Structure 1
Amino acid sequence: MYLTRMRPEQVREAVSSGLPLIMASGVVEYHGPHSPVGTDVMIAEHLCMEVEKRTPCVVAPPISFGPTTSWAAGPLDGEIDFDPAHFYGYVLELLRRLRMIGFKRIYIVQHHQGLEGLQALSLRRAAAELMREEALTWGHGWGRKRTEELPNPRIFSTIQVGSIDTYLQALPDDTGPMPIGHAGKVETQLIQHIDPATVRMDALKSIERARLPEWLPDAEEADAAEGAYWLDRCIEGWVRTLNENQA
């Protein structure tokens, strides 16, 4: 179910049924001459859409803009660096309103600079602030009560921020952890699988190999089939997590 396509009674039913809400978070930034500037948010949004096909949940519109610090490029290459202070304020208000609707579990699929990057830290800060706001309404000493007596027993996990591979389990074929890098092989092959029409591998030739950033040369090794494999493993992990934490 997609939040923006739901009627009011459907929203109320989803909330009363305890369905989780999942949303993507990414940025618009330079991903080399061969990949779309929306690579990050496209990957995160694709994961959310695939999760929705496999388990009951509500998908909210993605957070498509965030702080990039202009690390890879600038406006002339399509990169949009969002002021982190404004980003935090926007996310805080957005999450507050989603909580007001009544969603008891909110999952943010964050794909940009890992979970220690500026955007992820801003998301987690907003989640922590909303936890504090809610807890302060319970009065002093609420931690002395039994967990089941609290108005929201899952206060510390109501809003969770994870990367696309946060819930990826060890694989039986011992392929190791999922490698993720900016605009290189992994992100390129993920996009090749998600939306191949947006990728132009021959565009890599527009930059002399000696002048390629250190994170770009292995993009030539991208394999759409391998990208599909990793994405499916990530999706499985998120589906499993949503099912295990049903309200």
Structure 2
Amino acid sequence: MLWGVLTKADFTKEVKEKTVIIPIGAIEAHGNHLPVNTDSCIVEYLAEKIAKHTGCIVVPTIYYGPCETMLSFAGTITISEKISYKIIEEIIKSIICQGFKQIYILNGHGGNNEFLARIANKYSKKLNVKTKNWYDLEIINKLKQENTSYCGDHADRLETEIMLAIDKQKVRMELAVDDMPNWPENTEMLTDYSKIMTYAVEGYPSKSTLKNGKLLLPKVIKSLCEDIGNFL
């Protein structure tokens, strides 16, 4: 069920008993082979699929987040963590005001982690709220342990195969370049990742295949549905 297409009359008492999914991503460079809306595109797709399986209701995807460290790469749009926090908080307040009591925040961008954790902690006493990074699922972590070509955290094989499975027309595999930057120990002090990353890539996207993506995507959806089931 999609929040954005409902009318006022659709928000019945029964509907308000449903869990609300807030998908949040980012707009930032993902190499030359993936679109800049990759993080948002993935969580939007996953949230809608999860909703069909679980009966949850999905609010419109939040497309922007903190990407200041990637701003030197073409196509990146960033908003501060302070503003990002405020946007999500205002959305949560509105959802609470509408009578909903369960919120599941589905995140697709590492730069959102810190402020989302603070929001979940703040509102945990007022309602049932959880933040989940789809890329931190147990099946993903296991995959990376078993196959090092899935190692990486940005525009890597994982993201590329998921995007291929979602919409292969959005992926330019002929432009995929592998890169594994050497990060300094004090990464948190690094304000411009272009000083370390050459292609806005961390991983091995050239090894991605549509076949593997089609096998992986249903497993991700199933795992997220199970996670929501445990959350309810």
TM interval, short-chain normalised: 0.7 to 0.9
Task: Give the corresponding residue for 1:28.
Answer: 27
Task: Give the distance between the partners of 1:65 and 1:172, measured in 2 at CA.
Answer: 29
Q: CA deviation at 1:97?
A: 0.8
Task: Give the corresponding residue for 1:232.
Answer: 218
Contact 2:21 2:57 in 1 (8 A): yes
Task: Give the corresponding residue for 1:122.
Answer: 115
Distance verdict in 2 for CA 1:78–1:56, change over 3 Å: same
Q: CA deviation at 1:228?
A: 2.5
SS in structure 1 opposite 2:68? Answer: coil
Distance verdict in 2 for CA 1:44–1:173, change over 3 Å: closer
SS in structure 1 opposite 2:130? Answer: strand
2:133 counterpart of 1:163: yes
Which of 89, 93, 98 is the equivalent residue of 2:90?
A: 93
Q: CA deviation at 1:93?
A: 0.9
Q: CA deviation at 1:203?
A: 2.6
Contact 1:27 1:65 in 2 (8 A): yes
SS in structure 1 opposite 2:131? Answer: strand
2:6 counterpart of 1:2: no
Distance verdict in 2 for CA 1:40–1:170, change over 3 Å: closer
Task: Give the corresponding residue for 1:148.
Answer: none
RMSD: 3.0
Task: Give the corresponding residue for 2:194.
Answer: none
Which of 200, 204, 209 is the equivalent residue of 1:223?
A: 209
Task: Give the distance between the partners of 2:121 and 2:33, measured in 1 at CA.
Answer: 38
Q: Alpha-carbon deviations, 1:29-62, whole Å to 9, x = none?
A: 0001111000111111111111122121101111
Task: Give the corresponding residue for 2:183.
Answer: none
Q: CA deviation at 1:223?
A: 1.1
Task: Give the distance between the partners of 1:174 and 1:121, measured in 2 at CA.
Answer: 23
SS in structure 1 opposite 2:153? Answer: coil
Contact 2:21 2:59 in 1 (8 A): yes
With the length of structure 1 as denominator, give the TM-score of the two structures.
0.75
Work out the number of aligned pairs and report it: 212
Task: Give the distance between the partners of 2:175 and 2:136, measured in 1 at CA.
Answer: 32
Q: Alpha-carbon deviations, 1:189-211, whole Å to 9, x = none?
A: 11111111111122347x9xxx9
Q: CA deviation at 1:173?
A: 10
Q: Which runs of 4+ in 1 moved over 3 A?
A: 13-16, 165-180, 211-217, 243-246
Contact 2:157 2:205 in 1 (8 A): yes
Task: Give the distance between the partners of 1:174 and 1:217, measured in 2 at CA.
Answer: 11
Which of 107, 110, 114 is the equivalent residue of 1:110?
A: 107
Task: Give the corresponding residue for 2:43.
Answer: 44
Task: Give the distance between the partners of 2:56 and 2:114, measured in 1 at CA.
Answer: 25
SS in structure 1 opposite 2:23? Answer: strand
Unaligned 5+ segments in structure 1 are 135-154
Unaligned 5+ segments in structure 2 are 180-196
- Structure showing greater radius of gyration is 1
In structure 2, give the amino acid aligned to 1:40.
Answer: D
With the length of structure 2 as denominator, give the TM-score of the two structures.
0.79
Task: Give the distance between the partners of 2:154 and 2:112, measured in 1 at CA.
Answer: 15
